[in-house]
Structure 1
Amino acid sequence: MQTDERQQIDDIPWIEVRRIAAESYQMWDDKLNEIYGVLKQELPANEMAALKQEEIQWINERDSAVKQVEIQNGPGTYAPYEMSMTKLSMTRDRCYELVNSYFK
């Protein structure tokens, strides 16, 4: 994280920072579910089955990355924020990946 971003975060109470990060993650997760729902309706069954397996793998990778962040940051105030931001960025990236791959 860049110093300017960290300073901006330090100026906001941590409970509010964590709330904003969690809400932002939820927004991207909702979008991911929306994209996935459209793909379920549009893709042939064999492509959807392959995407479902890919999605399971991606979820495992995301959860593993979040766990690594937790291990690296240890207990404390900052870890939940970093964990939410990891989930947020990976989920946002997955949304763009699916849109760019399937909605040409």
Structure 2
Amino acid sequence: MKNKKNILFMVIALSIITLAACAEDNKKNQNSASKTEQNQQVKDGPNKVDNTDKTASVNAIKVNKNIQETNTTNTVIKIEGRRKEFLGRLDSTQKEIDALPEKKDSDAGVTNAMRSYYGKSYDMYDKELNEIYTLLKNQLSPKTMKNLQTEQIKWIEHKEAEANKEASQYKGGTFELVAYNSSLYNSTKKRCYELVNKYMTD
């Protein structure tokens, strides 16, 4: 009976020792796994790229590329459907000019009537030119508009030079202003039709 108690006591003691040893091994294994994970994080560090971040970056590049392609393909070099309308407006302006009271005396060569007639005619076409230019500025692509602005500055310089050249032939005479206004009128009228035909379609 005493032997049985001793054996039982030894079995219990061995079981406790075995459990303690297992618990210690388990703790060591957990510590080892934790250190391995920490070492991996340190190793990967900030240079590690998460797959979700990588996918987002690729998608962002694709979107930017699509935007660039859209901007390239959406280059407006002509305004559609307005050419006929503006040519009609310019023709109406010319009819108004032809109906001016000064026209009859201007055609007869009366200097004052000519000066007034060409001055008013120039003003009317200059107003039309400003409206055409404003429309183009609002609807053409920035690149096309930049080219047009450069072209327009050169045209204005040429228009003024031509008007001064015409006027200089009558310097000091009564016909000087007539020649100046007549040149401005003809240049501006021509420019209106050029812009409409070049930058608008039916």
Task: Give the TM-score range, shorter chain.
Answer: 0.7 to 0.9
In the alignment, structure 1 residue 51 sits paired with structure 2 residue 148: yes
What CA distance in whole angstroms lies between the structure 2 residues aligned with 1:63 and 1:49? 22
In the alignment, structure 1 residue 21 sits paired with structure 2 residue 118: yes
Aligned to 1:30: 127
TM-score (norm 1): 0.86
Residue pair 2:107, 2:114 contacting (<8 A) in 1 also = no
Indicate which of 27, 46, 71 corresponds to 2:168. 71
What CA distance in whole angstroms lies between the structure 1 residues aligned with 2:107 and 2:192? 27
Identity of aligned residues (%): 32
Q: Please provide the CA RMSD for this pair.
A: 1.9
- How far off its partner does 1:17 sit? 2.3
Name the amino acid aligned to 1:69. E
Aligned to 1:92: 189
- Structure 1 unmatched ranges of 5 or more: none
What CA distance in whole angstroms lies between the structure 2 residues aligned with 1:31 and 1:44? 21
- How far off its partner does 1:30 sit? 0.3
Aligned residues: 98
In the alignment, structure 1 residue 40 sits paired with structure 2 residue 150: no
Cα deviations by residue, 1:62-101 (Å, 9 ceiling, x for unpaired):
0110111122222111111111010000000000000000
In the alignment, structure 1 residue 9 sits paired with structure 2 residue 120: no
- Give the 4+ runs in structure 1 shifted more than 2 A: 7-10, 14-17
- Structure 2 unmatched ranges of 5 or more: 1-103
Structure with max Cα Rg: 2
What CA distance in whole angstroms lies between the structure 1 residues aligned with 2:151 and 2:118? 26
Cα deviations by residue, 1:6-37 (Å, 9 ceiling, x for unpaired):
x8332x3x323211211110000000000000
- Higher RCO (C-alpha 8 Å, min separation 6): 1
Residue pair 2:162, 2:183 contacting (<8 A) in 1 also = yes
